[in-house]
Amino acid sequence: MSASGEGIAMTMDKQRQYVSWFREAWPYIQGHRGSTFVIVIPGEVIANRLVLDNVLQDISLLHGLGIKLVIVPGTHIQIDALLRERGQEPCYIGAYRVTDSNALEASMEAAGKILVDIEAKLSRGPMVPVLRRHGGAARAGLSVAGGNFLSAKRRGVVNGVDFGATGEVKKLDIVRIKERLDCNCIVILSNLGYSSSGDVLNCNTYEVATSCATALTADKLLCLVDGPIVDEKNSVLKFMTLEQADQAIRTQTSQSYTAADYVKAVAGAKYSISLGLDSFSNGSPMASSHTDQNSGFAIGGRERQSRTHLSELAAAVFACRGGVTRVHLLDCTVEGAILLEFYTRDGIGTMISNDMYEGTRSATSSDILGIQQLLRPLEEHGILVHRSKQQASSSSILFLWRIAAFAVAPECRGHGQGDSLLDYIERKAARTGLEKLFLLTTRTADWFVHRGFSECTIDDLPAAKRSKVNLSRGSKYYMKILLSQCNGILRITR
C-alpha cells in the first residue's frame, strides 16, 4: 500500500471510531440534557493550569450539550500560598480554617483571581477555521453568572476557639440561581458569603457545594480530585451504594474527625435498606435523610490534605442522603475524565448513588422461598421453566456463565429496576473475568436485544452446557459480549 493509501486508511479508521463513539454516546447525551450538575473544582485542580484548562473545556462542552451547571471553585491551596508568602502559617481546626484579618484578605484575593480566570477561559470561542467552515461569527463564548447568592453566618467560638471571619452557610438564593441557569448561564458560586450585617465571611467550599446540590435537588454532584479513588487492593473503586459508603465512613469514626462530623451531621442515623422480598419496600431506603436543605457538609483541614479521599466520600454520602441522585468522585488528571465519566457506559470515576443497585445483593438460602414466589407467575405463563427449591438455590453457583432467570416484582416495574439489576449482573460478571453472558428466552427477547444482547445459536454456548438445555421449549439463544473493566487512560501532568 502506498503512503497516500495508508493515510487514507488511517483517516477512515479515525472517522469510523469517531462515528462509533458518537453513536454510543447518544443515549447519554439525550439522557443528561436538561439535568442540573453541581461541580466542585478544588484548589489542587485550580493550581494545575493544564488540568484546569482541560476541565473547563469539558465543562464548556457539557453546557453545549444542554446541561445546567453550577461551578463551586475551591481556594484553600491559593489562600495557604498567599499566607505563607506573607510570613503566616495557615491555621485549621478540624475541617474549618481559622480566618483572621490576614486570612480573610487572602481569601478575597484568591476567590477574585480564580473567578476571573474561570470566566476568561469559559469566554473562549472556537478556532477561526471552525467558524469559517460552519459559519456563525457571533459571540461564541459562554455566559457566566455570579453574584451574592450565598448568605452566611459566623461560625463563632467553638470549644474555646474563635474562628474569626469563618462562615457557615445560612441560606442560598436558589430562586436566582435557577433563573440564571434557565437563562443558559453557567453559575459560578463563590465560597465567600455575606452576613446580614454586611460582612464578608470565608465559607468552606464543600459545605457550599453540598448545600447548593441538595437545595437544587441536583441530578449530580461532581467532586473533582487529583488522583484515583482506590480500594484496599489498589484497584479503582467504580461504584458504592449509599449503604456501603455510609458503613465505610462509620468504620473510621474513632480515627477521623471527618467521619465523626459526618455521623453527627446525619444525626447518627445509619443508612439502611430493606432486603426482604416479603417487604413492600423491595429494597427502597428505610432511613430518613437529613431534611434541612440549607445545610451542607464541610470537609478540609489536615485530614483532607492527607489525600485519602475519605473527606470527599463523606461529602458525597451527605449529599446523596440530602436528595442528590448521584455523586461522582472523579480523577481529573485523566485526559477527558468528565466526558468519559458521563458519556461512556462504565465511566472512569467512583459513583455513589441513592437509587442505583440499592438493595441488590447475592441471594442466600433465606431468600429461596421469596425467589420461588417471584418466579412462580412467570413459570405458570410459560415464560420461565419451573425450578425446584434445590435448583433455585444452586442456580447462582452453577450458572455463572448464563442468566438462569431474570424477574422483577410487579410493583417494582416501570421504575428502572430491571435495568439496574441487569447492569449489576453485567458488572459483577466482568469483574470475575467473564467475557460473555448467555441467556435463553421464549418471550422476552425484545427487552434484552434493546439492552445489547444479540441472537446466537446453541453452538455458541459452552460445550459442557449444551446437553443441559431443554430443547422442547424452543427457546432462542442470546449473547452479550461484556465490556472490559480495564481502560487505558492518559493522565495529564504539569
* φ, ψ for residue 363, nearest 5 deg: -75, 150
Q: Does residue 261 lie within any of the structural domains?
A: yes
Residues 317 and 383 in one domain: no
Strand partners, 477: 440, 456
* Nearest-angstrom CA–CA distance, 207 and 189: 12
Q: Are 41 and 52 in contact (CB under 8 A)?
A: yes
What is the grid cell recorded at 181?
441557569
Pair type for strands 92-93 and 96-97:
antiparallel
Q: Does residue 421 lie within any of the structural domains?
A: yes
Of 197, 133, 202, 134, the residue nearest 164 (C-alpha): 202
**Can you give the CATH number for the domain in which 423 is found?**
3.40.630.30
Residues 384 and 439 in one domain: yes
* Nearest-angstrom CA–CA distance, 189 and 45: 17
**Can you give the CATH number for the domain in which 220 is found?**
3.40.1160.10
Q: Does residue 133 lie within any of the structural domains?
A: no
pTM, two decimal places: 0.75
Residues 20 and 159 in one domain: yes
* Nearest-angstrom CA–CA distance, 186 and 415: 31
Of 170, 220, 164, the residue nearest 39 (C-alpha): 220
pLDDT value at position 90? Answer: 96
- Return the ∠ at Cα 83 (arms to 97 and 260), rounded to 5°: 20
Residues 395 and 332 in one domain: no
- Alpha helices by DSSP H, 291-330: 301-304, 310-321
Q: Does residue 315 lie within any of the structural domains?
A: yes
Q: Which domain holds residue 167?
A: 7-126+141-353
Residues 34 and 108 in one domain: yes
Residues 156 and 216 in one domain: yes
Q: Does residue 313 lie within any of the structural domains?
A: yes
Q: Are 213 and 319 in contact (CB under 8 A)?
A: yes
pLDDT value at position 280? Answer: 34
Residues 348 and 389 in one domain: no
Tens of pLDDT along the chain (494 residues)?
555 555 566 588 888 888 888 888 888 999 999 999 999 999 999 999 999 999 999 999 999 999 999 999 999 999 999 999 999 999 999 999 999 999 999 999 999 999 999 999 998 865 555 555 555 555 566 899 999 999 999 999 999 999 999 999 999 999 999 999 999 999 999 999 999 999 999 999 999 999 999 999 999 999 999 888 877 777 778 888 888 899 999 999 998 999 999 999 987 666 554 434 443 344 444 444 554 556 799 998 878 777 678 899 999 999 999 999 899 999 999 999 999 999 988 889 999 987 655 556 666 666 667 667 766 776 676 666 665 655 555 544 333 456 777 777 776 676 677 877 888 788 777 777 788 888 888 888 888 898 889 999 888 887 777 777 878 788 888 889 886 544 444 444 43
Report the largest interatomic distance among the alpha carbons of the chain, rounded to a whole angstrom. Answer: 84
Residue 99 DSSP label = B
- Residue holding cell 459483577? 428
Of 90, 72, 91, the residue nearest 82 (C-alpha): 90
Q: Does residue 359 lie within any of the structural domains?
A: no
Total structural domains within the chain? 2
Three-state secondary structure readout of 265-293: HCCCCCCCECCCCCCCCCCCECCCCCCCC
Q: Does residue 486 lie within any of the structural domains?
A: no
Of 8, 51, 11, the residue nearest 492 (C-alpha): 51
Residues 314 and 389 in one domain: no
pLDDT value at position 291? Answer: 47
Residues 186 and 224 in one domain: yes
End-of-domain residue from the set 353, 374, 394:
353
Pair type for strands 92-93 and 161-162:
unpaired
423-437 burial, b for 16+ CB within 10 Å, e for fewer?
bbebbebbeeeeeeb
Of 414, 271, 285, 467, the residue nearest 358 (C-alpha): 285
pLDDT value at position 395? Answer: 46
End-of-domain residue from the set 353, 381, 407:
353
Q: Does residue 60 lie within any of the structural domains?
A: yes
Residues 305 and 375 in one domain: no
Residues 93 and 209 in one domain: yes
pLDDT value at position 278? Answer: 42
Of 218, 169, 215, the residue nearest 192 (C-alpha): 169
Residues 225 and 310 in one domain: yes
End-of-domain residue from the set 299, 331, 353:
353
